[in-house]
Amino acid sequence: METAPESSREGETDRHAGGLRGPGSGLESVATESGQTSPFLSHEWFGCCWGAAGAESRPEVLLVEDSAGPTAIVPLICRKASLHGLPARVLGMLSSPDTAFADWLIVGRPEPVVEAVLTHLSGRRD
């Protein structure tokens, strides 16, 4: 998917938590290149949050790439909910009920990543 003209960033969705498991998943390289050292942006933390999300929730991972490779990992969670009495699906940032911290792993400036994610999400029809 093409986004901002100054960026060739693309969004790709992995609808399963397994997208960040194992070598070559992109998480290690993005974490290293981003310089983030917070334990709240680690694979282990994301795994704990997915485990706490419950069986009715479905984890999703949005991988943002440019021509050089992965530039952002956006862990999301999809839940079933009720909105004014109607069934709805809600997509939100992955977090833990015990911690108010939620963030994305981003290499470089966040603006092109945010634009790519919003463009991707606005085009979804699920």
- Per DSSP, the residues of 42-83 read SHHHHHHHHHHS-TT-EEEEEEEEETTEEEEEEEEEEEEEEE
Q: Which helix (H) or strand (E) holds 20?
A: none
Contact 118, 76 (CB under 8 A): no
Q: What is the pLDDT of residue 26?
A: 66
% of the chain beyond a pLDDT of 70: 78
106 pLDDT above the threshold of 60 = yes
The C-alpha atoms of residue 21 and residue 101 are separated, in whole angstroms, by 22
Q: What is the pLDDT of residue 85?
A: 94
Is residue 108 classed exposed, middle or buried when 0-12, 13-18 and 19+ CB atoms within 10 A define those classes? middle
pLDDT, tens only, 49-97: 877 777 788 888 888 988 888 889 898 889 888 999 999 988 988 887 7
Which residues neighbour 101 within 8 Å (Cβ) at sequence distance 6 or greater?
40, 95
